[in-house]
């Protein structure tokens, strides 16, 4: 066991502040990583403030599941990594490896999943601590290779926002010639646009904000629709193969279901706090479907990183020192960031 610097919160109302936490010594299958950058996800804010009743927060909490760093040490049985390699860690750090989900490559659905933070730590007791820290020790199976050509600050959010959007795009067969909609242009939406564009799709962004049009086109959208304009919406009726809905606020899902072509699908990756009202005829007329998705398995996450390396895709980030994390949380509530925060963990050394 060894100690590292970190930032933690001690209650739902306490700010994140400097702390010291313990990390486990390496087992034969472990990889030790010096954390260079850690993205800020909206779920970090929800967890720190104990806003998810189904997943109560255990304090102190060290958030962070968008981790990019450099390998400093490996266990004796590790074969995929060596000291000096670039590596990433996403939302999960262990699963049972034996359930049907794990065997199928869907570790994210394992009933015995260990999340990167605020999850039962079977090695040290208590809960797991995340990436707002100097270093982390993770089982080799859950460590990812980072393409060396990508800028590391923008790679960090790929470990959550990237895979959250890539997985449904791949699952629903987005390829060249498909017409794809992206609802919302935030942290998830901007990644959906970049990835769908790189897959060769015709990409249409739906937004309530006319001032986002220029940015949407810059990110790779072919068209931008102001969703409050019924005439603009009607022009696209019955024409989409797939729509990725990234909005976490209340909205009319039927307006988007009616834009789907026969056998088209909408996948929710945003999580509105109240149930969405779905009319049966929005689904029946055209054999349309509505589904949800969270992240992806380890193999698919590696596939996503390799795809991003091939197409030179990273998240648009604002890099901040750890000392500004509480300010970043307040700005996140106001959607005052384009499009993700990435913490330069070198700033932790001055604490």
How many domains are there within the chain? 2
User: Domain span at residue 141?
Assistant: 2-160+296-301+315-350
Same domain, yes or no: 142 and 24:
yes
What pLDDT digit, counting tens, does each position of 163-200 carry?
A: 999 999 999 999 999 999 999 999 999 999 999 999 99
DSSP structure string for 81-132: --TT-EEEE-SEEE--S-SHHHHTT-GGG-TT-EESSSSB-TTTSSB---SS
Which pLDDT value is given to residue 262?
Answer: 98
Note the pLDDT tens digit of each residue in 221-272: 999 999 999 999 999 999 999 999 999 989 999 999 999 999 999 999 998 8
Do 138 and 265 have their domain in common? Answer: no
State how far Cα 316 lies from the chain centre.
Answer: 13
Contact 137, 88 (CB under 8 A): no
Tell me the H-state helices in the chain: 42-48, 100-103, 152-155, 161-171, 187-198, 213-219, 230-234, 253-257, 280-284, 298-311, 325-333
The verdict on residue 171 lying in a domain is: yes
Residue 293 to residue 171: CA distance in whole angstroms: 10
Nearest in space to 279 (alpha carbons), one of 258, 248, 251: 258
* Same domain, residue pair 156 and 196: no
Average pLDDT in the chain: 96
Instruction: Note whether residue 308 is domain-resident.
Output: no
Distances (CA, A) of 220 to 177, 182, 188, 201, 232: 15, 11, 14, 10, 20
> Do 102 and 245 fall within a single domain?
no
What's 148's domain CATH number? 3.90.180.10
DSSP 8-state class, residue 65 = -
Indicate the burial class of 337 (C-beta count within 10 angstroms; 0-12, 13-18, 19 or more): middle
Question: What's the angle, vertex CA 219, arms to CA 213 and CA 222, rounded to 5?
Answer: 65
Q: Is the full-model pTM beyond 0.75?
A: yes
Question: Is there a single domain that holds both residue 70 and residue 173?
Answer: no
Rounded Cα gap, residues 103 and 96, in angstroms:
10
Q: Is 7 helix (H, G, I), strand (E, B) or coil?
A: strand
Pairing of strands 86-89, 144-145: antiparallel
For residues 259 and 334, state if they share a domain.
Answer: no
Provide the phi-psi class of 145: left if phi over 0, else alpha when psi is between -120 and 50, else beta.
beta
166 and 156 in a common domain: no
CB burial of 160-177 (b: ≥16 within 10 Å; e: otherwise) equals bbbbbbbbbbbebebeee
Condensed to tens digits (0 to 9), the pLDDT of residues 267-291 reads: 999 988 889 999 999 999 999 999 9
Task: Note whether residue 307 is domain-resident.
Answer: no
Question: Does residue 125 carry a pLDDT above 90?
Answer: yes
């Amino acid at each position: 066991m060894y100690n590292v610097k970190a930032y933690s919160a001690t209650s739902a109302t306490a700010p994140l502040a400097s702390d010291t936490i313990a990390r486990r010594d390496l087992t034969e299958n472990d990889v030790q990583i010096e954390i260079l950058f850690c993205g800020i996800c909206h779920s970090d804010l929800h967890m720190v403030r104990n806003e998810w009743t189904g997943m109560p927060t255990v304090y102190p909490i060290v958030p962070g599941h968008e981790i990019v760093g450099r390998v400093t040490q490996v266990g004796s049985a590790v074969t995929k990594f060596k000291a000096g390699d670039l590596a990433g860690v996403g939302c999960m750090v262990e699963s049972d490896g034996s359930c049907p989900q794990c065997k199928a490559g869907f570790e994210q659905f394992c009933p015995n999943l260990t999340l990167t933070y605020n999850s039962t730590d079977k090695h040290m007791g208590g809960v797991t601590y995340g990436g707002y820290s100097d270093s982390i020790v993770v089982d080799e199976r859950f460590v990812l290779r980072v393409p060396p050509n990508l800028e590391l600050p923008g790679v960090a959010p790929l470990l959550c926002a990237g895979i959250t959007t890539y997985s449904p795009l791949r699952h629903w067969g987005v390829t060249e010639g498909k017409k794809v909609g992206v609802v919302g242009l935030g942290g998830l939406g901007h990644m959906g646009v970049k990835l769908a564009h790189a897959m060769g799709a015709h990409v249409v962004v739906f937004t309530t904000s006319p001032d986002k049009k220029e940015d949407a086109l810059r990110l790779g959208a072919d068209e931008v629709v102001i969703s409050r304009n019924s005439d603009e919406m009607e022009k696209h009726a019955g024409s989409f193969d797939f729509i990725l809905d990234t909005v976490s606020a209340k909205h009319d899902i039927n307006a988007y279901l009616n834009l789907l072509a026969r056998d088209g699908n909408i996948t929710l990756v945003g999580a509105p706090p109240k149930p969405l009202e779905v009319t049966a005829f929005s689904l029946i007329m055209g054999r349309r479907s509505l589904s949800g998705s969270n992240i992806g398995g380890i193999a698919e996450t590696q596939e996503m990183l390799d795809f991003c390396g091939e197409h030179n895709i990273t998240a648009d980030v604002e890099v901040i020192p750890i000392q500004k994390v509480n300010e970043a949380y307040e700005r996140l509530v106001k959607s005052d960031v384009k499009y993700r925060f990435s913490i330069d963990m070198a700033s932790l050394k001055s604490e």
